[in-house]
Amino acid sequence: MGKYSKMRGVTLLELMIALLIASVMLTIGIPSFQAVLDNQRLTVATNEMVMSLNLAKSEAIKRVAYVTLCKSNNGVACTAGGAWNDGWIVFANSGVANLDAIDAGDEIIRIYPKLRESIDLTPTGTIVDFLSFRPSGTLGTSVANMTGTLTVCDERGAEHARGVLLEASGRWSVSRDLAHDGGALAC
């Protein structure tokens, strides 16, 4: 190399243009990335509920006993009047009485913790504070069937909600269809 070799670098104008392009890309990309994160949080919360339904139904059939999911804000007892997003418990009932409460002899199978603050889990139909699987795997108490929807929402509202539609047969499906059952998912 010679004494006065030509140095190559970036001019101030090129640097300013690169920063402008980067800021435009970030401005466009960050909101869409937030939507991806919000959708992922809804999916995780919905899957938690579906996994707990799978667990409860399989345990009811395996144990030939009633297995209940109930709202619980402490992981020890069922909570009447609380919210499903505060957490819930899956437990095996030692009898047919008090399906909505953990009694002596009942076994807690799994405790599900509180959902994220931005997630809301709302029941409709005959499911309010608890739901039980019979030993046959169908949904209901000893005298009545249980049906309804557990709707998973966030601050974006019903447009992005997911519904876990529960049938008395013990089957369920996950839907984003707002027109199911002639109504809308309630958030």
Residue 9 pLDDT > 90 = no
Higher-confidence residue of 155 and 97: namely: 155
Instruction: Please count the structural domains in the chain.
Output: 1
Tell me what percent of the residues of the chain surpass a pLDDT of 90.
53
Higher-confidence residue of 104 and 96: namely: 104
CATH number (domain holding residue 78): 3.55.40.10
**Residue 187 forms part of a structural domain:** no
The pLDDT score that the predictor gives to residue 33 is 81
**Residue 5 forms part of a structural domain:** no
pTM here is 0.80
Residue 104 pLDDT > 60 = yes
**Residue 141 forms part of a structural domain:** yes
pLDDT bracket for residue 132 (50, 70, 90): very high
The pLDDT score that the predictor gives to residue 144 is 86
Query: Rounded to 5 degrees, what angle do the CA atoms 8, 13, 16 make?
Result: 115
pLDDT bracket for residue 3 (50, 70, 90): low
Rounded to the nearest 5 percent, the helix, strand and coil shares of the chain are: 35, 20, 45
The pLDDT score that the predictor gives to residue 152 is 93
List the domain range (segments joined by +) for residue 45. Answer: 12-182
Q: Cα separation of 111 and 128, whole Å?
A: 18
The pLDDT score that the predictor gives to residue 88 is 96
**Residue 80 forms part of a structural domain:** yes
**Residue 7 forms part of a structural domain:** no
Place of tokens 């839907």: 175
Distances (CA, A) of 173 to 11, 55, 75, 115: 59, 15, 26, 21
**Residue 27 forms part of a structural domain:** yes
| CB-count burial class (<10 Å; 0-12, 13-18, 19+) for 180 | middle
Distances (CA, A) of 16 to 10, 19, 101, 131: 10, 5, 66, 61
The pLDDT score that the predictor gives to residue 178 is 52
**Residue 93 forms part of a structural domain:** yes
**Residue 1 forms part of a structural domain:** no
Tell me what percent of the residues of the chain surpass a pLDDT of 70.
90
Instruction: Tell me what the mean pLDDT of segment 161-176 comes to.
Output: 91
Higher-confidence residue of 183 and 32: namely: 32
Give Cα 177 to chain centroid, integer Å.
Answer: 16
Range scoring the smallest mean pLDDT among 31-40, 64-73, 81-90, 134-143: 31-40
| CB-count burial class (<10 Å; 0-12, 13-18, 19+) for 156 | middle
